[in-house]
């Protein structure tokens, strides 16, 4: 797969991790960022970066780079008006002549609340939070664009993302970890390296219209995960705080309004993904020596 070209709308945490892996395989990677410092940093790392803040389209150079790419990934979050990438660049995307794969990073939050029960890709979406409603609308926009333009659009519904520099290990080290107690509450999560692994597997075997849940094999409570992170660091876990007594932001509290376990069977069976970190214990242990 050498000398392929990937264009990422939104070179954030997950997309940058993927970009580094692909660059090591000889790919050329380009994409968008929101600030000039981010653009300069990525250019120094060999990634052509273009400014896109969701308020106006990219410049001509960015659109030309997009037109020269056969693989497209978007992780740009939707706003009140919809998906800004689809809004400003639908014509550019529709004009891609040799596009082999398009990926849109969504969230497993689109399934809503299932009282701790299991969901899979056949479960009808029933989003509760405003951001999840927006994500489902963005999914629909991308799938519609794919149907109209013949683009091989794939939707990836991600669970909670963690990895180097963004994990319970980091939170415990910084003294910022909190253990919120809500009996029966569980979350699904995935290590950023396994997101990259799944995306590369899909890029190698595209299925137009495919929807995949990306998560590990072990849903668990946030309190349990924080306690394990503390134990790895040889620290006592922070005390549990009942959800009703926790001083959480409205966004943080909204995560506790949904309770579900996300199945990843399609990722395993169809894409052939073997997770490097099938549960949070393996994932957190791998981060102990990371800065």
Number of domains the chain contains: 1
Per the domain annotation, does 227 fall within a domain?
Answer: no
CA distance 35 to 75: 16
Per the domain annotation, does 235 fall within a domain?
Answer: no
Per the domain annotation, does 179 fall within a domain?
Answer: no
CA distance 127 to 235: 37
Per the domain annotation, does 239 fall within a domain?
Answer: no
Q: What is the pLDDT of residues 139-186, one digit of tens each?
A: 999 999 999 999 999 999 999 999 999 999 999 999 999 999 999 999
Strand partners, 242: 181
Check residue 247 and give its pLDDT.
85
Check residue 278 and give its pLDDT.
98
**pLDDT above 70 as % of the chain:** 99
Per the domain annotation, does 101 fall within a domain?
Answer: yes
Check residue 93 and give its pLDDT.
97
Per the domain annotation, does 223 fall within a domain?
Answer: no
Three-state DSSP state, 240? strand
Identify which of 126, 243, 124, 118 has the alpha carbon closest to the alpha carbon of residue 188: 118
Check residue 291 and give its pLDDT.
64
Q: What is the pTM of this model?
A: 0.96
Residue 227 contacts residue 233 (beta carbons within 8 Å): no
Check residue 43 and give its pLDDT.
94
CA distance 52 to 61: 12
> Cα-Cα-Cα-Cα dihedral of 120, 132, 71, 100, to 10°?
50
Per-residue pLDDT of the chain (291 residues; tens, 9 = 90+): 447 999 999 999 999 999 999 999 999 999 999 999 999 999 999 999 999 999 999 999 999 999 999 999 999 999 999 999 999 999 999 999 889 999 999 999 999 999 999 999 999 999 999 999 999 999 999 999 999 999 999 999 999 999 999 999 999 999 999 999 999 999 999 999 999 999 999 999 999 999 999 999 999 999 999 999 999 999 999 999 999 888 888 888 888 999 999 999 999 999 999 999 999 999 999 999 876
Per the domain annotation, does 224 fall within a domain?
Answer: no
CATH number for the domain including 211?
Answer: 3.40.50.720
Per the domain annotation, does 94 fall within a domain?
Answer: yes
Domain extent for 266: 5-165+189-217+261-276
Check residue 254 and give its pLDDT.
83
Check residue 1 and give its pLDDT.
43
Strand partners, 116: none
Task: For 145, list phi and psi in degrees, rounded to 5.
Answer: -60, -40
Check residue 2 and give its pLDDT.
45
Residue 138 contacts residue 82 (beta carbons within 8 Å): yes
């Amino acid at each position: 797969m050498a000398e392929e070209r990937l264009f990422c709308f939104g070179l954030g945490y997950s997309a940058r991790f993927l970009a580094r892996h692909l660059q090591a395989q000889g790919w050329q990677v380009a994409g968008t960022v929101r600030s000039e410092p981010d653009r300069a940093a990525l250019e120094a790392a060999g990634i052509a970066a273009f400014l896109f803040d969701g308020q106006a389209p990219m410049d001509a150079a960015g659109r030309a780079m997009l037109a020269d790419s056969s693989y497209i990934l978007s992780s740009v979050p939707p706003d009140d008006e919809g998906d800004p990438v689809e809004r400003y660049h639908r014509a550019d995307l529709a004009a891609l002549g040799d596009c082999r794969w398009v990926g849109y990073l969504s969230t497993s939050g689109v399934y809503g609340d299932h009282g701790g029960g299991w969901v899979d890709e056949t479960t009808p979406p029933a989003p509760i939070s405003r951001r999840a409603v927006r994500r489902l609308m963005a999914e629909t926009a991308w799938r519609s664009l794919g149907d109209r333009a013949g683009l091989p659009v794939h939707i990836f519904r991600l669970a909670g993302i963690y990895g180097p520099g963004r994990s319970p290990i980091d939170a415990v080290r910084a003294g910022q970890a909190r253990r919120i107690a809500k009996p029966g509450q569980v979350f699904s999560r995935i290590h950023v390296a396994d997101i990259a692994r799944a995306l590369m597997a899909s890029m190698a075997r595209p299925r137009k219209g495919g929807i995949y849940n990306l998560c590990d094999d072990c849903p668990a409570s946030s309190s349990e995960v924080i306690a394990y992170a503390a134990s790895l660091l040889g620290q006592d876990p922070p005390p549990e705080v009942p959800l009703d007594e926790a001083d959480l932001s409205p966004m943080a509290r909204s995560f506790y309004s949904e309770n579900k376990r996300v199945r990843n069977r399609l990722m395993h069976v169809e894409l052939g993904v073997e997770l490097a970190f099938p549960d949070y214990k393996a994932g957190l242990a791998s981060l102990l020596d990371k800065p």
